[in-house]
Structure 1
Amino acid sequence: MEEDCCATQLIYGDGEFNADGLDKFVKEVKLAECGISYAVVAIMGQSSGRSTLMNHLFHAKFREMDANSGRNQTTKGIWIAKCVGIEPCTIAMDLGLEGTDGKERGEDDTAFEKQSAIFALAVSDIVLINMCQESDKGLEQAAMNPLLEMVFQVVMHSFVPRKMTLLFVIHTKTPFENLEPVLREDIQKLWDGVPKPQAHNSTPFSDFFSVEVVTLSSYEEEEVAQLRQRFFHSISPGGLAGDRRGVVPASGFSFTAQQIWKVIKENKDLDLPAHKVMVATVRCEEIANRKFNQLIYDGGWLALKEAVQTGPVQGFGKRLSSILSTYLSEYDMEAIYFDEGVRNSKRQLLESKALDFVYPAYTTMLGHVHSKALEGFKVRLEELLNKREGFTSSVRTCTQSSMLEFDKGCADAAIQQANWDASRVIREKLRRDIDAHASSVYSAKLSELNVNYEKQLSASLIGPVEALLESGEKDTWASIRKLLNRETEVAVSKFSSTAVADFELDKETIAKMLQHLRDYSRNVVVKKAREEAAKIMILMKDRFSRVFNYDSDSMPRVWTEKEDIRSITKDAHSASMKLLSVMAAIRLEEKPDDIEKILFSSLIDGTVTVSSSQDRRIETSAYPLASNTWEEVSSEDTLITPVQCKSLWRQFKTETQYSITQAISAQEAYKRSNNWLPPPWAYYGNGRSCFQPIYAPTTTKKEIDDGDPLSL
């Protein structure tokens, strides 16, 4: 099936641009796919034979002049068609102008012809100059000078840096070798005589144009075929348009043509370089927007975005970089032929927009990497600490491991096209979080260590201190001091070595913590002493009971006449008083005091002897116990004040009186039970009856009741 040329009227005779028709044409011939591998060929010059020439050369279907109608315009406006069978894609443009040999032109026709010519020059790579020549006199007889002058001026003013090819097709019988030199000479003269802008006063003709000349004696197939052949690969080096410049990419041809015609119609100066930038801007923006929209709905991106919401994604950066690279590469391919500056600028905007779009997913991924690294730090640290590894060394090891894990995760999540510093920010946050957790564990472990040593101190002190206090011996507090110092130093030594080895504490911190242990151990003793002092009455009564009711072998006493209740009572009172004196004050410093002497003198002996700087003697009175402080004992170390001791002793004597009374009663009962028969020796004494009882002198119960039993 023969290929269709898709002939389309581009601009109507009234100057209206057929945008819809051009868009349809571009789609039908698939022009947008050509990149810059396409060419546009326009024809100017004498009207006779223009359309015919184009149809023969390119198999187009432009309307030709009817000879019977005379030299009237045949293709009013501008038409385009695809050159059938020519590679690369070539667009033929036929200008429906009166031509240089026209008879009648109105002002409107002249204006339209000029506008059409400028348009053709602006969009074409090759311009055919159609000429009929009867002699070898060059341009003088061809009436071509005005047309060529206009071409030269328009190109110099508007088309830099474009370069086009002028192909003169001369219908003549004159031999080519005779005509060509004359024609080239005339063209050069015309160029030299055309007024030029200052910037191009000395610019050679060859910077703007390439000139080719062919002659046709008729439309014989052989001649036409030879000329047609020259349009194959016309844009390749050595081709008709091999040295063209400033090509508009095919995808922008439709927009370019429309905008150029708009500028021309508005009689504005046509600045093709600026127009080229404008076209590149519009087209590159269109391409960039299309690629961005494709990215938004890309299946791979949507799947990756969804996956990263639930957890870390292996190969996240590589996958996302590949997706972005796909659309950026597609942009590059589609925009490759547009102005480089514009193209690169729009690419940067596309890349920036795309990166902004995917940034939340990237930060989400980094959040997962951060969480995983932090959790790994916590787990590894706990494992090492459970293995009794040193705390500080464990923190260092786990920190290095977690930071390395984070760096690897960030590298895996890194996007090739981005240069974000989010990973640095999150890395700093990870370090802060690790330090915070380590500090928390540090405090907890150090506190745990401290508590353990406190428990050890409590266990090693409470029981022994309680036993020593309840013993109420003379050396009780000396033994307590010795115990306290020994257990404290053991704990301090162990704690010091552990703290240095495991926690690498500084000297100041270690000193504070050791002082805390010393204070704690002291407080344990103080607290226990206060607890024991609070139950002094119970302890005194218990001490009294043990001394009074049990003998030295801890056997219960039998209150026979052999038992000296007075002496036993005194011993029991003394033992209880000694316990009271021990409990009266805390003596953790080796300072002498007279508490025991004062208590014994005041409450048992009846006189008070106090060692003081004046070595004075105080007679029996309640004065030493009528105070809330002990001499040379601080209030903090006072457990039972003097006045409390006096009150307690009074209560103690009252509550132990019953035991004494019971003992006396038991002894009397024992005596009575053993006095109903006289002793054997009584039967031999002074002639008395053997049945007359003889009573040994004893102290009666009444005599004891009349006296003070506690004075025994």
Structure 2
Amino acid sequence: MSDLKEAIQLIDENKQFNPSTLNYFTKCLGDKNVGVKYHVISVFGSQSSGKSTLLNKLFDTKFDTMDAQVKRQQTTRGIWLSHSANIYSSGAANQSIPDFFVLDVEGSDGAERGEDQDFERKAALFALSVSEVLIVNMWENQVGLYQGNNMGLLKTVFEVNLSLFGKNENRHKVALLFVIRDFTGQTPLESLEASLVLELEKMWSQLSKPEGCEDTSFHDFFVPNFFGLGHKVFQPEQFDNDVKSLGDLFVDQDASFFKDEYHTHLPLDGWSLYAENCWEQIENNKDLDLPTQQILVARFKTDEIAAAAYNKFLNDYQSQVTDSLDGKELATVLKTLQSTCIDVDYDPFASRYAKKVYEERRDDLIKQLNTIIDETITNFVTRTTSSLIETFHKNARDRSLKGPFKLKIQSALEKASRTFKTNLAPFSELELLSSMDAYISKFEARVNTEVADLQERELNAIVARFNKGLTIKLKDTILHLLAKPTINVWDDVMKEFTSFLDGSLKKYTNEDGKIDFQTGATTDANDKTEHTLKRNAWSFLDHTVHGYLTEDNVVDIMRNVFNDKFRYDDDGMPKFWKNEAEVDASYRLAKSQALSVLDALAIVKNKDNVEILIPEALLESDGDGSDYEENGGQEEEEAGLYHQQRFSHVLSALQKDKIITKFKQFTDLVIIEAKRSIVNTTERIPLYMYALVVALGWGRIITILRNPATIILSIIVLAGAYFVHKLNLWGPLLQFANQATGQATAVLKQTVRSLVVDEEPKRKILVEPHESEGVDKEPSKNDQHL
């Protein structure tokens, strides 16, 4: 056994428990096994009342003490713990003394903490919870005072102690040793004792007692003892003898300080854990539970049996439960594992211990098993749900089944729900599930989500097919009408547009005239889809019209109209003008018709001259249809009006001016060309000149035609031209000629450049002799210039 006397701070001033307490016990005791043969003593009292000094003298400890000659101040902070195997007494030195563990508690009513009494209350309560003997250190002149002898603090501590320990069947008693310091004997100790007991009993009667503790008395929880000590300074010998007498009481085996009911009956390592838990519960204001040894053993053994049964359950579970089991097989396996764990592996062994502990641990074990069983059932339900959802999708999209889409969904939904309930029923029959409603509700919610998703996809597919039909069936027709417009072009366009839209919606119209897309969706969903189709159709028409009728395209359309009327007659034959009057007449007619086409294309209106607007309902957002906000409603209304007018007003006045300017440039060139062709025709070479040329050059013509070389060359040229024309090679031939010309030009440039370069050395050779002959001569002006 070590003779270490150093103390450790069990609880610091910040209320933190020392985690190395058990190591301190090992240092103090070494290999000695004290079991429950140890005692815990604590001291409580006002600050600077000599508590640490008394403990050091009595138990031979080394607690820090105050030097009164320097300053009276707080010395002990928190709660300190020290081991002692020596008691200052009048007995023999070799007397057998048990191991003492002494707690030095921070003094109360200290100036350092001021009005903060939280720690001193908790420290006093902790000392009561873990000690067998609580030494209350007080001065003789403090007896009869309320605050001076800490009665106010004791009242608070007793009240909390009663609320914590009052309901325990085996009440933890504590020996209260009131040590009266500077005892002069003038007032008999018995009188002081009576006064203190009376104060304690009166204080106890005034406590706020919890339910069930109304009839308890002070002596049910505490055993008061009293001892007087002489003055340490003025009566040093008396003080020393009194301390020895007090030590004799601790050493005497017959003394009443160490009764069995005071001890916690815990091994020392268990006391360390117990003290830490007590402090944690006191700090957090939790109820303390001080179980007996029998309860502790029962808990330990039932925990051990339950752990073994649970581990066996887990091993069997891992080997027997697989994903391949169907609902009935899985339910049977789980029920067998549960019954074996509880009825075979736990109950026969654990039922021999305390019934309450056995039943509590049994309930805990069942909860553990149910957690795994519930998790297994949940995983099974998840797999089953995923499989049924996949099957549901296949059945709902099965093209081999005839009928509307909503009938396919309804049939697939009924089949999935029926299969799910069949798979889940065995778990309920074997009482593994208290109710299937939660799982069924969750499955139905999941399926309904999938149904809504499929319905939305089907509606989106209808919209996609409709949009595709707009591009395939309607776009080319509209562009054809716009490319060759008439005065009533917009009536023709709207006729085609309305015909397509009505025809697309006709197959979804029921007898009441309502649109039902046969997906099983709600009326709101059908209305929203109808709204989307119509809005997409008008949007398509808007984009097609405005995308095609650009300024350049409109100019081209007017050119085509102008050319058709200017260059061709009503039968489609080319016109041949005899004079400028005919050209001017054709020009005015063609130009007027082209400009009328511009006016027709500029604004979308019918033959009654009424603008065609996008329906106002199709310009609304897809919101909840609520009224416009006060600030934003006017802006949204103006935006809707703008979109309506934007559709009908294809070309603005500025765009029309630009188009007319470009068109006029084109028509001016055309009429100039037409009139020039009339002049050229009128001023041609007379026919007699051709006859005169033939007559005068007839001999030369005959000579050339009779030359064999000319004949052969003509035949080759004509044959080559025939084949080139027949094979359509004029383009490649011209390209080849251009490339050959380019290469020839490059070669010619290179040749000229090389000749210039070769001439330069010769010129230098001719100049150098003259320079050598006239070295000392001044260079001429021409040389200087060079």
TM-score under structure 2 length normalisation: 0.40
Question: Between Structure 1 and Structure 2, whose CA radius of gyration is higher?
Answer: 1
TM-score under structure 1 length normalisation: 0.44
